[in-house]
């Protein structure tokens, strides 16, 4: 666990949150005493990456003109 004072925490919040996201714990201190701890959430399931989700989708491209022609054929009979 690393310790940072409030002033450092304010100026480095983004990098501290990155470290917490990687599993590290951060203690925030005021006058040398701990006042808060940044810890990764427990039991939270992470969302799958958007790239993985997109690659799992299969798209069948059917031209609109073909769909309209087929629909007209079916209406005639």
CATH number at residue 31: 3.40.1620.10
Task: Give pLDDT, residue 30.
Answer: 96
The pLDDT profile of the chain, 77 residues, written as one tens digit per residue, is 899 999 999 999 999 999 998 889 999 999 999 999 999 888 767 777 888 888 888 878 888 898 899 899 998 87
Task: Give pLDDT, residue 34.
Answer: 96
For 2-64, the DSSP string reads EEEEHHHHHHTHHHHHHHHHTT--EEEEETTEEEEEE-PPSSPPPPPPHHHHHHH-------H
Task: Give pLDDT, residue 11.
Answer: 96
Structural domain containing residue 24: 2-41+49-76
**Cα dist from 48 to 17, 57, 74, whole Å:** 20, 14, 42
Structural tokens at position 37:
């701890």
Task: Give pLDDT, residue 44.
Answer: 67
Instruction: Work out how many domains the chain is built from and give that number.
Output: 1
């Amino acid at each position: 666990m690393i310790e940072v004072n409030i002033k450092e925490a304010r100026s480095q919040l983004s990098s501290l949150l990155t470290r917490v996201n990687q599993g590290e714990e951060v203690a925030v201190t005021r006058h040398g005493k701990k006042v808060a701890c940044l810890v990764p959430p427990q039991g939270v399931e992470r969302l799958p990456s958007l790239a993985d989700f997109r690659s799992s989708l299969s798209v069948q491209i059917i031209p609109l003109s073909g769909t309209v022609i087929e629909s007209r054929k079916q209406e005639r009979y």
